[in-house]
Structure 1
Amino acid sequence: MTTATTVVAPSLAAGDGRLRVALRAIGVIAHRDLLRQVKRPGVLFSQAVQILFFVLVYAVGFDGMIDSVGSVSFSAYVFPGIIAIQVVSIGVASGQTYAWDREYGVLRELLVAPVPRVCLPLGKVAAGAGMVTVQSVVMLAFSPLVGVELTPGRFVAAVGCYALAAVVFSVIGLCLATLIKRVQTLQATVQLAMFPMLFLSGSVFSAQDAPDWLGWIMHLNPMTYAVDLARQVLLGGGGLLPWWTDLGAMGAILLLVLVVLRLRSGR
């Protein structure tokens, strides 16, 4: 009995030690990427201008043309989708930092560290998703201006929805970066995929009003579930699918892309 306890105790301690090392590596990589983003105020400014553009054009400009969608104003209806557009576009584009690290040899230096290879992409996911989640919190503060009643419960639930979406699409962006080696090709691929994904998600128009063939395409778009879930949380209903279906779909997508990322880590 004493011998068995002696054998198990060091193995548990070793497992805990490896976990601490892996978490520390993820934290260091995330801190490095966050510092790099903060030191580029021009990028943050351009993202803020993009947010303002979407709010002015869709939430304000089209509100006079389209009176309401169901029982809510058009500006309130599209507001959850506008935040989702920002979350998804920045999340997918965050994978390009992985490609640049590989291009300049930084990835090779990081991979020689005595930590699991998956720590590198997970650190980048933590940094990218954290930054985008903070941006979504800032955007949610403008909810009363577009007619969205934001209670504390809805605010917390909405932040959770956008944080989940940020993680999912940051992992998708990193998966693309591991599959496409050339930075220029990756940038072109992201731009090519971005617009169909953003605008065929129900973010700016109701999927229920789309033709049947277009509705099927929208159901194949992973962003559709993120937009639908956020809209139900912020508006208190009116979703395309039940909220638990959206949440389950997002969880299944996250599991799938994490498996791909684990298989492709370090490439």
Structure 2
Amino acid sequence: MSTGLLPAVADSAGARSASGARAVAVIAHRDLLRQLKRPGVLFSQAVQIVFFVLVYAVGFDGMIGAVRPGVPFSAYVFPGIIAIQVVSIGVASGQTYAWDREYGVLRELLVAPVPRICLPLGKVVAGAGTVTVQSMLMLAFAPLAGVPMTPRRFCLAAGCYALSAAVFSVLGLCLATLIKRVQTLQATVQLAMFPMLFLSGSVFSPEDAPGWLSAAMHLNPMTYAVDLARQSLLGGPGLLPWWGDLAALAGVLVPALGLLRLRSGR
């Protein structure tokens, strides 16, 4: 290739990247507007998490006591309770993709001259952004659960939940590209969520579980999201070092993105 063609190739690649970024932003904006038009859903999600914090976590404090020295049960489970909300909404976000496909909206969006991966990525940005903001609001209740909050811990926890939201939103969209029928997708999401949530270490540690149950928890990607958030908010040792939790989540995210790219291009 002659040197005179290099600037043209670079300009063309830059134009495609800019076009793809605009497409992601437009789709994310569309999904965010759709969520804002349903304030009742956002309110019900907020009430659910407040209920868990005030009733479940704080209510069990007197029965269970400290899980670690100086760490009450409510503080121990607080990071996991937020992670439950983050992962639940993230995985369920793939259903919006399925509904768009069901009603023909997806077909109209795919005629745009942009890479097809832009559509699911826009939904990931919208879903992860919404859940991250929700998790930041939930962190305001940390003192009620006995979690000492500092600006550093707040920022670290918000980053952990943002990463978790992105990872599980991508997983939800992968399911939506693999399962065509909306009803089947909803049933599959419900079937996958219960073991994922309860085998994540959100309310008890894998070290305290029987061997076979601990092994199942180590295979659950949500376990590492909970462990990372717990280390960010409470400090102390975790199931893995923080970089190990990051590596585990990255090990899930990278192949999931590859599958999403493969499926969305079909």
Instruction: Tell me the equivalent position of 1:167.
Output: 166
Post-superposition shift, 1:239? 1.1
| Alignment check: 8 A CA contact 1:158 1:233 kept | yes
2:140 is aligned with what amino acid?
A
Instruction: Tell me the equivalent position of 2:13.
Output: 15
Post-superposition shift, 1:234? 0.5
Instruction: Tell me the equivalent position of 1:45.
Output: 43
In the superposition, the TM-score normalised over structure 1's length comes to 0.97
Gaps of 5+ in 2: none
Gaps of 5+ in 1: none
Give per-residue Cα distances to partners, 1:106-128, cap 9 Å, x unaligned: 00111111000000000000000
Query: Secondary structure, in 3 states, of the residue corresponding to 1:65?
Result: helix
Percent identity between the two aligned chains: 76
1:11 is aligned with what amino acid?
V
Query: Secondary structure, in 3 states, of the residue corresponding to 1:141?
Result: helix
Instruction: Tell me the equivalent position of 1:70.
Output: 68
| Alignment check: 8 A CA contact 1:58 1:204 kept | no
Instruction: Tell me the equivalent position of 2:238.
Output: 239
2-side partners of 1:244 and 1:58: how far apart? 30
Instruction: Tell me the equivalent position of 1:123.
Output: 122
2-side partners of 1:155 and 1:5: how far apart? 50
Query: Secondary structure, in 3 states, of the residue corresponding to 2:114?
Result: coil
Query: Secondary structure, in 3 states, of the residue corresponding to 1:69?
Result: strand
Instruction: Tell me the equivalent position of 1:265.
Output: 264
2-side partners of 1:173 and 1:193: how far apart? 10
| Alignment check: 8 A CA contact 1:107 1:266 kept | no
| Alignment check: 8 A CA contact 1:94 1:173 kept | yes
Instruction: Tell me the equivalent position of 2:97.
Output: 98
1:123 is aligned with what amino acid?
G
Length, aligned pairs only: 265
1:180 is aligned with what amino acid?
I
| Alignment check: 8 A CA contact 1:168 1:254 kept | yes
1:10 is aligned with what amino acid?
A
Post-superposition shift, 1:266? 5.1
| Alignment check: 8 A CA contact 1:111 1:266 kept | no
Post-superposition shift, 1:152? 1.3
In the superposition, the TM-score normalised over structure 2's length comes to 0.97
Give per-residue Cα distances to partners, 1:173-226, cap 9 Å, x unaligned: 000000111101111111111111001100011211100000000001000000
Query: Does residue 25 in structure 1 map to residue 23 in structure 2?
Result: yes
Could you list the structure 1 runs, at least 4 aligned residues long, displaced by more than 4 angstroms after superposition: none
Instruction: Tell me the equivalent position of 1:86.
Output: 85
Q: 1:266 to 1:33 in 2, by over 3 A?
A: farther
CA RMSD of aligned residues (A): 1.1
Query: Does residue 57 in structure 1 map to residue 55 in structure 2?
Result: yes
| Alignment check: 8 A CA contact 1:168 1:253 kept | yes
Give per-residue Cα distances to partners, 1:138-195, cap 9 Å, x unaligned: 0111111211111111111111110000000000000000011110111111111111
Post-superposition shift, 1:57? 3.1
1-side partners of 2:209 and 2:55: how far apart? 21
Instruction: Tell me the equivalent position of 1:152.
Output: 151
